[in-house]
Amino acid sequence: MSQQETHLIVDRLREYKFEEDLTLVTFDDKTPQELLILFNNVLKDLSIDHDVDVRDEDPQDTAVRIMNFLPVLNYNPNVDFETFRDGLQAGDRSLIYPILVHVLSSLPSLRKRAYIGRFLTNVELPEEMFADPEIQAKHAEYTQLQQQFKETHKATDAMRGTKTQPTELKREVQQLEEERQQLKQKITKMEAKLRKLDNFDALYEVTSTLRKEQEREAVLRERMEEQEMMYKQAETRFYQVRKKLGEMEATAQDGTGEDFLQRLQEDVRSKTMICMEKLPDDINSKQQRLESVRKIIEQPAVNDYELHNMQQDMQQLSEEISNLQEQEQRAQNQGGDKLSMFRQQALIVSRKKQDQLERLQMKEEELRELEQELNEKREKSGHKGVKILKGAEFEKYANGLKLKAKQHKKLKGQLSSARAEKVILQRTEDILKTRHGDQTKFLEDLEKRKGVQGAAELQEKLETVSEQTSNVNKAKEMTLEEITKVVSKINDTIKEKKAKLAPLIKELRQVRADFAQLESEYNEKKAAYENTKVGLDADRDKLTMEVTAYMEECRREESRYHYLNAMIHSTNVMLERAVKEAAGRNKIGEMGQSYEELYKSRIQAEENQSKILRERQKQVKDDHDSNVEQARMFKSLHKLLACKIRTLQQDVANEGETMLGV
């Protein structure tokens, strides 16, 4: 058993008025018998079934009674019956303390649970007894009554939760009754005045119709407001779904699955940050506010005397708080509290963090709006006349296009190298012709001398064949050009779409640049604002403390002024009464008895009554031990006589059996 749980037991026992003067020392010094009595008193507060004196009760009965009651309290002792009985009789603290902690930590709710448990505890019956129709009917009636009790108890709790006093209800009913009577009188007067008119019946019918139409108009107006609200909600949901659809379509068109997954992860991170950082603070603040309001509502109505005492206590606590704050301020001014600087820094960091979260939400909202606007403009521009391939068709087309583009690039490279080589050779030929003139005749003579006549002709044929081959290649090139045209057309379409998006993207970049500039300026000014605000807050707090102290002093002086005025007035009244009585002008009654004589006679009567009561109290205290002993002896005598009666009855029964046997 920890020291903290022992503190809890002692504090709750004092709080719930079981023992108001109880301390840790006196609680630890209690004997097993005293501890068992205290434990039984706690259970007696939950159920009247435990209103017994455990000193006169059999330990077996005590253990059975308490152990059967613990399941109602939702507590399991985790020991067998023999151990539980011996532990109770010996005052085992390891057995009793956990039960006390469980009960005292939630005593109000357990009071309600114990009260309900008396009526909702099921009676265990053997299965064979349900064969009797009468028992089945009684059990069904018992279950029905339990359900009826649940509903009645819930309704009672709901009525208690309204906190409406009967006196207030009576006052409201009386006020409504008076208003009803006034309205009746007004209606009677108005009817008497209007009946003198000739067209009263027609006017009455028209007025009644007008009133009905006005009521119908009010009902229709309410319905219209409800429909408008539902329409706005549906429109909001529609825009949200539409925005989400636009975002998903934009992601599917412009990005890959990784981009879509990355965006979802960013959304999850931002939402997680909001849920982990901002929402818990908001929920805690709302719960604290709700708890404070609930406590205020649950408090009983206070009278003027209690309110005056509370105001005095509050005033005293305010003075103590002001003194402590002044002492703390003086200590800070003298020693230079370093913690204040860290507190201010922590406050600034927390505020910056909160601002960053708000900025993040604002940026996400702006991003969604821009994406929505981009999607709308895309929808307006559309893809008119162009079939958009999706899924497997788009992948197949893209793969074929990649292969054709690769082949086109390869052939285009070969063509470029051949053209470059042709240019070089053409240039070489022109240079040679310029230097040596026409070389045809020279080549023929040279071919004759070398024995290779016709080589030039063969070369021409080869060139012809080469030209034919070039034509074939040109035809192939035309095919490639057609493919290139298709690719160019696709690229042009893409460029056209990009050109349409370029102003928007440019505008978006400009907006982002402006935003970044404004954000930097905002951060700089905000930092300066935060630094200035910290200093001004400190000055304001100091001035607020001074103003509060002065206001408290003014309130104290004003309260003292009113109190002294009341005391002066009361003293003057008493003085005037005493003067009148001394002068003999304030006699009362037929006997001419004065207030002094009247109060003296009453005081004498009260003193005589107090004397008689003190003597009676003394006599009761003197005879207490003997009376307790006598009561115990009477109980023992009663048990002895009951035992003798049972013995005699058994003897008579045995004698009767013996006689019958004979």
Distance CA(263)–CA(244), nearest Å, equals 12
Task: Note the pLDDT of residue 24.
Answer: 79
Task: Note whether residue 521 is domain-resident.
Answer: yes
Task: Note whether residue 69 is domain-resident.
Answer: yes
Sorted by sequence, the CB contacts under 8 Å of residue 194 that are 6+ apart come out as 200, 203, 204
User: What single-letter amino acid sits at 158?
Assistant: A
Whose structure tokens read 């940050």?
A: 273
Sorted by sequence, the CB contacts under 8 Å of residue 370 that are 6+ apart come out as 508
pLDDT at 319 over 60: yes
Domain boundary among 74, 90, 121: 121
Task: Note whether residue 605 is domain-resident.
Answer: no
Sorted by sequence, the CB contacts under 8 Å of residue 252 that are 6+ apart come out as 260
- Start-to-end C-alpha separation, the chain: 68
Distance CA(191)–CA(207), nearest Å, equals 13
Task: Note whether residue 661 is domain-resident.
Answer: no
**Is the pTM above the cut of 0.85?**
no
Task: Note the pLDDT of residue 385.
Answer: 41
- Quick: pLDDT tens for 495-551: 777 777 777 777 777 877 888 888 888 888 888 888 888 878 878 888 888 888 888
Between 182-186, 419-423, 433-437, 550-554, the lowest mean confidence (pLDDT) is in 433-437
Sorted by sequence, the CB contacts under 8 Å of residue 100 that are 6+ apart come out as 9, 39, 42
Q: Are 96 and 39 in contact (CB under 8 A)?
A: yes
Task: Note the pLDDT of residue 645.
Answer: 92
DSSP state of 277: I
- Quick: pLDDT tens for 574-627: 888 777 766 665 454 445 556 677 778 888 988 998 889 988 888 888 888 888
- Quick: pLDDT tens for 166-197: 677 777 788 888 888 888 888 888 878 777 77
Residue 50 belongs to domain spanning = 3-121
Task: Note whether residue 439 is domain-resident.
Answer: no
Sorted by sequence, the CB contacts under 8 Å of residue 40 that are 6+ apart come out as 50, 52, 54, 62, 66
pLDDT at 662 over 50: no
Task: Note whether residue 63 is domain-resident.
Answer: yes
- C-alpha dihedral (101, 105, 111, 113), degrees to nearest 10: -90
Residue 63's CATH number: 1.10.418.70
Domain boundary among 551, 585, 619: 585
Q: Are 105 and 12 in contact (CB under 8 A)?
A: yes
Domain boundary among 121, 151, 186: 121
Cα radius of gyration (the chain): 52
Task: Note the pLDDT of residue 586.
Answer: 47
Task: Note whether residue 93 is domain-resident.
Answer: yes
Distance CA(323)–CA(308), nearest Å, equals 23
Task: Note the pLDDT of residue 433.
Answer: 66
What angle do helix axes 455-582 and 440-450 make, rounded to 10 degrees? 120
pLDDT at 656 over 80: no
Length of the chain: 662
Task: Note the pLDDT of residue 351.
Answer: 73
Between 63-67, 217-221, 380-384, 436-440, the lowest mean confidence (pLDDT) is in 380-384
List beta partners, residue 543: none
From the CB of residue 50, how many other CB atoms can be counted at a distance below 10 Å?
A: 19
Number of domains the chain is built from: 2
Whose structure tokens read 């391939």?
A: 389
3-class DSSP assignment, residue 593 = strand
Distance CA(526)–CA(358), nearest Å, equals 14
3-class DSSP assignment, residue 588 = strand
Kindly state the tokens that stand for 323.
């003194």
Confidence label for 384 from pLDDT (cuts 50, 70 and 90):
very low
3-class DSSP assignment, residue 386 = coil
Kindly state the tokens that stand for 317.
């606590």
Query: CA dist 170 to 174, 299, 536, Å?
Result: 6, 22, 55
Sorted by sequence, the CB contacts under 8 Å of residue 243 that are 6+ apart come out as 368, 371, 372
Whose structure tokens read 């008076």?
A: 178
pLDDT at 45 over 80: yes
Where on the phi/psi map is residue 91: left (φ > 0), alpha (ψ -120 to 50), or beta?
left
Q: Are 38 and 126 in contact (CB under 8 A)?
A: no
Average pLDDT over residues 392-402: 69
171 burial (CB, 10 Å; 0-12 / 13-18 / 19+) is exposed
Nearest to 599 by CA among 616, 581, 615: 581
- Quick: pLDDT tens for 136-167: 788 888 888 888 888 887 777 776 665 556 67
Kindly state the tokens that stand for 80.
């067998």
Task: Note the pLDDT of residue 487.
Answer: 66
Whose structure tokens read 């209103």?
A: 51
Nearest to 42 by CA among 115, 96, 116: 96
Task: Note whether residue 222 is domain-resident.
Answer: no
The distance between the two most distant Cα atoms of the chain, rounded to a whole number of Å, is 185
List beta partners, residue 588: 593
Distance CA(321)–CA(315), nearest Å, equals 10
